[in-house]
Amino acid sequence: MPGQDLAPADTGLIHAYLLDRQGGGRHLDWEEVAHWDPTQGALWLHFDYTSEPVRHWLGKEADVDPLVAEALLTEETRPRTLPVGDGLLIALRGVNLNPQSQPEDMVSVRLWVEEHRIISTRKRRLLSVGDLLGSLEAGRGPQGTAELLVALTDLLVWRMSDTVDRFESDIDELEDRVLETGGGSLRSELAQLRKQTITLRRYLAPQREALSRLLVEKVAWFDEASRIRLREVSDRLQRHIEDIDAVRERAAVTQEELLSRNSEQLNSRMYVLSVVAAIFLPLGFLTGLLGINVGGIPGADNPDAFFWFTGLLLVAVALQVLVFRWRKWL
């Protein structure tokens, strides 16, 4: 093991937990991990892969395939399941529920699962891992590596429920606000919601494929009971994806409705302005014609000409209104 004289924080080890196959277990230090034997029980090692000692240990001392070591240390990864020998290399993602973070900025966890050992790595804290460790410390956790893998997957999907429910609540509120007010300020909120759902689905779809691949892989230590429970988790993930798709489609329809309402309001205002312009256009022509500074203007010497001309303009306005109503323009 790397640096047995170092504290766990210096070595990148987040925790080392020995399962007692009865739902509980105990924490191990570096020296106990170094002398671990599969007969003692299943071992779960959880690392921060950005630590240099972890990179050294995985590459030189972990007794794993170089492909596995590289996958556990890679910076960017998509959800997947890959069988390597008698083990499974798995990459999964969970919603980011850390403070000051966005849920769609998902946190990845990489796992190498063998019959008696699980090695998991991450960069950012994942609450589902803490939940699983808490259940083990309370004596209500998984009894082996297969159960631990399924339990972690279950918690990752379960933690998504609140985020999906929040998306549905947000779109319900936005739909009501569009119907009530139709304000243009809602466009940015709708666009933000669509962006979040699109980003979240982009990672959940491959995760569904990873779970489907895990269900069909034939490894001796992954028993039928674990497959049945994993199938239920996969079905729940599929429902989350369908709910996200529904939210995304509702957001698109709501955005179209908002644009339609804004367009109708703009057309209504332009129509009023057009009617006003149509009414005053002939009036402006007549007043402009009689206002030119040349000789021969009719009524220039008649003291009552202004009142006759004003009456003529009122008659012209009345005639235009009647014509507009007859043509159903008003």
- At residue 2, the pLDDT reads 41
Class of domain 8-260: alpha beta
For range 165-194, the mean pLDDT:
81
Question: What residue spans in the chain does CATH classification 3.30.460.20 cover?
Answer: 8-260
- Single out the residue of 227, 210, 208 nearest to residue 146, CA to CA: 227
pLDDT at 97 > cutoff 80 = no
Position 295 confidence tier, pLDDT thresholds 50, 70, 90 = low
For range 208-217, the mean pLDDT:
90
- At residue 156, the pLDDT reads 92
Q: Are 240 and 161 in contact (CB under 8 A)?
A: yes
Helices 224-290 and 145-180 cross at an angle (nearest 10°) of 20
List of residues 6+ apart from 328 with CB closer than 8 A:
none
Of residues 265 and 235, more confidence is placed in: 235
* Torsional class of 12: left (φ above 0), alpha (ψ -120 to 50), beta (otherwise): left
CATH of 269-326, picked from 2.60.60, 1.20.1070, 1.10.10, 1.20.58, is 1.20.58
Question: What residue spans in the chain does CATH classification 1.20.58 cover?
Answer: 269-326
List of residues 6+ apart from 201 with CB closer than 8 A:
241, 244, 245, 248
pLDDT at 258 > cutoff 60 = yes
What are 111-162's pLDDT values in tens digits? 999 999 999 999 888 889 999 999 999 989 899 999 999 999 999 999 888 8
Distance CA 209, CA 79 (A): 8
* Confidence (pTM): 0.76
Of residues 75 and 122, more confidence is placed in: 122
- Single out the residue of 147, 137, 200 nearest to residue 170, CA to CA: 200
